[in-house]
Structures are given as C-alpha cells and as structure tokens.
Amino acid sequence: WVGLMLSLLLPGAGIFLADERKSGLRWFVGLTLFGVLAATLESLPEIPSLYAYWSASILTLMLFGLLLVRSFRAVPWLGLRAWIVFLVLAVAFNSVTWVIDRSLTHRFNVPAGSMEPIISRGDHLLIQRYAYWFAKPKRGDIVVFRTALLDHPLLPKDQFYAKRVAALPGEQLKIENGRLSVGGVPVQSPAILTRNLFAPYSSEAFNSNIVHFDVPADCYFVVGDNGTNSFDSRYYGSVPRRSIIGRATKICWPIQRTGNLQ
C-alpha cells in the first residue's frame, strides 16, 4: 500500500522506488503529458465539442488506475528525511501542474445576462488562456478580462467580465442609431454586431444618436451581445490588452448547452 500511495501523490513514484526506475519515469512523463494534452484540448475552439477532452481525460484516468495497480508492491523502507524530500517533491509537482492547467484553460461562471442570447445567465465557460500568446484578439472574439485597470465608479474591481470585441487598437468606432461602424464602414460580422442594439449611453456629453470612439493603441472596444442591457466599453472605455486573460471558446455547463461559442 505504500507504493500505491507514493504513486498516488507523485505518478510513478511507487514503481520507481521498487527498482524499476525506467518504468517509473515513463509513467511519470506519460501521465503528465496526457494531463497537459487534456487541458489543452478542453478549450481548443477548433474541436467543436468536449468529446476530445472527455476522451483524453477518461484515457488518463484509466492509465492512472493501471498505474496504481502496478504500484501495489513492496518498496524500500523510507526514513523521515526521505519522506520529507518526497512530500516536498509531490507538493511542488502538483503545484506546477495546477499552474500549468490554469495557464491553459480557465473556467468562468457567468452571473449576468449581458451576453444573451449566445451566453445565458448561469452558463459555465471555458477560457482558452493561450489563445493570445502568439496572436492578437480579433473582431468578434468573446474575450474575458479583469476589471482592475478600468476606471468607472460603478465597475467592481478585480472582477472577470466576458464581452465581444467590436473594434481593434487604433480604429475609429461610430455608433449611429444603435449600429456599429468602424472607419466609416458598417460592421459586417459576426451577425450579432450588425444588429441595431448598441445605443449610446445617456450622458450630457453625448446627447445625439451619433457617437464616435477612438480606440487607443493596445486597447480593444468591447460590447455585450445583449446590447440594450450591457455594461461595456460604452461606459468604461476601451479595455487594455494586458487586462485580457483569454478567449471564451465553449460552454461546458449546463450539459444541454455545451458547445462552441460563435
């Protein structure tokens, strides 16, 4: 049972200490890579469902079960110092894998209805955190960002918001009678941005049906799909690139609503 517990805390450790070091290392590397693969597939938008993630997760769980069966064997006696070293390694490994998982995919619960009808109140989203490591947000992307760097008296600090990118850095956005135009050309896609929803907010500075916004460099103008009931860039301005944590790609819960976001 000691070998089983060792492998439960650190994959392959029980086999490694039972004088099968190469086998133990193969189990360690293999299960770690399968875990990273599952976390990567989970929010990948090119895969239109969660079946690939579920398949990878089930396979990883089955392999882990097989590992525990093989780890149920005698291991050398471990003294106090060896146990301390092992526990430190196990905690470090599990902490690193947790950080890697969070850096690839983040889960986000939507408490409001500003993105309806695409995203409903109570939906759980998968955020592809690596989406913008080597690329930039595009018009139409649903991004999730922190509010810490935004300044508005009604905006809670250090919260996560999900909105759709309407205009890119350096662009000139115009809202006329609720319609969006960029550079004088009406927005053509996605379809949700072509609707007559985005009325300017009430303000003495904007007392007409036409409002112009110049998006600063390295910032993005974002709006909610429920344009008549969304607290977005029309109120608190453009969102800095460094505030965006990733792209919302899928709904993972409730089960009847799972699927890709468009």
Residues acting as catalytic residues: 114, 163
Which helix (DSSP H) or strand (DSSP E) does residue 160 occupy? Answer: strand 160-167
Q: Within its chain, how far is the Cα of 134 from the centroid?
A: 15
Task: List beta partners, residue 144.
Answer: 162, 246
DSSP letters of 106-138?
EEEE--S-TTTTTS-TT-EEEEETTTTSSS---
State the Cα–Cα distance between residues 192 and 179, nearest whole angstrom.
Answer: 11
Q: How many CB atoms lie within 10 A of CB 51?
A: 11
Given the structure tokens 């089960």, which residue do they identify? Answer: 255
